[in-house]
Amino acid sequence: MDEPMADAPGPQVKVTFTTTETDLQLPETKRQLLVPADIRRYGLSRILNSESMLDTGSIPFDFLINGSFLRTSLQDYLTANGLSLETNLTLQYVRSLIPPVYEASF
Amino acid sequence: ATHLTEDGEQSRPLRDYSEALEMWSNFQAKTQSLSQSLSSQLRLILTPTQSTKLSGAFRTGKRLNIKKIIPYIASSYKRDKIWMRRAVPSKRAYQILLCVDDSSSMADNESRTSSSPSSSSSSGRLALESLVMVSRALASLEAGQVGVLGFGTDVFVAHSLTDPPFASSSHDAGARVLQRFTFRQDGTDMVRLLRATIDHFRDARLTQAATSSGQDLWQLALILSDGLVQSRDHARLRPLLREAMEQRVMVVFIVMDDARGKGKGHSVLELKEARFGPDGVPVIHRYLDTFPFPYYLIVHHLEDLPGALAALLRTWFAEVNS
Ligand SMILES: [Mg+2]
């Protein structure tokens, strides 16, 4: 129970997870989370898959903020949009389309 | 030297005066009965009229001091100060700083929508309502000097301890305090706040010592905040909290956890934090597990505050006096 924390965390930002995927809903009490500000899609995906969250193992997720996919770190997103670490970011998660769907041969 | 930044204060935006005036009178009307309730509870805690303990050695008194009996007999009844009395408690003087979080997390700032801090649901509004309620209660008690600090990326004095009371007479002085809070600071530097609070109290103690004598001075800081502090600051806060304790400054953290218009799971009680261990595996903990303030209470509704604050102060005084 008393797991040691990783040392000296860097800056954190508060996120709220939402999704429209009916089979991948988080319980209400798990939707708000402080995460390292330098986190990117992969880290967020690992957190969501972890035992204490969705416990889904290894589903790759993509994240939408205000309708566009997160392709940088959260910190870079905040900076690019003139936002501070005080901001509560709403992240909508969707099953990742990576690797890209083959759609050239219809 | 003061650690409070005086410069830059002029450039910080002020809330519109008439809006602040309206807020003050609305909040005052709304919290009138809560304020009276808090005031009557605090009266019992802050101003003891009778000492509960019998002590000392006197020629006459209320109860025999057993330890003095043998020396009394051995001295052929010469050492006759064998009685204990109820000591008259020394008059207490208080200096109370209300420290209000002015950072933008106090406004409802879901992603990019910047809603007004006076909108129906936000920690900021709850903090200002609490500020009005508590300062009115303290003013009616005439417990001592009351000051207001604001903090975010830096710390400012919204009302100095030595200024005339702001919560007792006209609405004007109160409105001028509320004007200072706009919840737009883009950081929450709790380390800086504690440093400033300790320094402010040290200066105030020296001033107090020069003007009055024989009074027992108690210094109390009430922090009104949403409780969101960068976790890396938790460790840096602990030595400062120890320093405050050594200086006999009591620090109470009141977490403004507005429950209005929010689903469950939005409370700071449920908030978790994720970190990556050395092996890259995410570890998830409850945020409050590393919260460094030993005395804190969580307020979901304004109505919770008088009882919770009184209970906490009662506990603290009992610990200090034991
Ligand atoms: Mg904040």
Q: Which of A31, A49, A84 to mutate to test the interface with B (most CBs of B within 10 A)?
A: A84
d(CA B151, CA B166): 19
User: Is the pLDDT confidence value at B121 over 90?
Assistant: no
Chain-chain contact of B282 with A81 (C-beta, under 8 angstroms):
no
The pLDDT value given to residue B88: 66
CB contact, 8 Å: B111 with chain A? Answer: yes
The pLDDT value given to residue B4: 53
Q: Cα-Cα-Cα-Cα dihedral of B314, B189, B200, B94, to 10°?
A: -20
Q: Report whether A92 contacts A19 (CB < 8 A).
A: yes
List CB contacts of A64: < 8 A, sequence separation 6 or more: A70, A91, A92, A93, A94
User: Is the pLDDT confidence value at A98 over 70?
Assistant: no
Q: What would the two tokens of residue B121 be? A: 């649901």
CB contact, 8 Å: B187 with chain A? Answer: yes
To which H or E segment does residue B251 belong? strand B249-256
Alpha carbon distances (Å) from A105 to A98, A100, A102: 18, 14, 8
For the ranges B16-20, B42-46, B231-235, which has the lowest average pLDDT? B42-46
Q: What ipTM was assigned to the predicted interfaces of this complex?
A: 0.85
User: Is the pLDDT confidence value at A18 over 90?
Assistant: yes
Chain-chain contact of B187 with A43 (C-beta, under 8 angstroms):
no
Helix axes B123-141, B17-46, angle to 10 degrees: 50
d(CA B127, CA B257): 9
Q: Which of B191, B230, B264, B285 to mutate to test the interface with A (most CBs of A within 10 A)?
A: B230
The pLDDT value given to residue A3: 43
Helix (H, G, I), strand (E, B) or coil at B248: coil
Closest CA to A86 of B269, B299, B2, B190: B190
For the ranges A17-31, A57-71, B67-81, B199-213, which has the lowest average pLDDT? B199-213
The pLDDT value given to residue B236: 94
pLDDT (average), residues B292-308: 94
**Beta strands in A1-106, from DSSP E residues, in sequence order:** 12-18, 32-36, 61-65, 68-69, 88-95
Q: Report whether B17 contacts B179 (CB < 8 A).
A: yes
Q: What would the two tokens of residue A41 be? A: 């899609």
For the ranges B106-110, B295-299, B311-315, which has the lowest average pLDDT? B106-110
The pLDDT value given to residue B68: 87
Cis upstream peptide for B292 (omega within 30°): no
CB contact, 8 Å: A75 with chain B? Answer: no
DSSP state of B103: B
Alpha carbon distances (Å) from B281 to A38, A44, A46, B278: 16, 12, 8, 7
- Where residue B247 falls among pLDDT bands split at 50, 70, 90? very high
The string of pLDDT tens digits covering residues A24-78 is: 999 999 999 999 999 999 999 999 999 999 999 899 999 999 999 999 999 999 9
- Where residue B114 falls among pLDDT bands split at 50, 70, 90? very low
Closest CA to B228 of B106, B107, B120: B106
The string of pLDDT tens digits covering residues B208-218 is: 776 766 678 88
Q: Which residues pair with B148 in a beta bridge?
A: B98, B159
Query: Which has more pLDDT, A5 or B200?
Result: B200
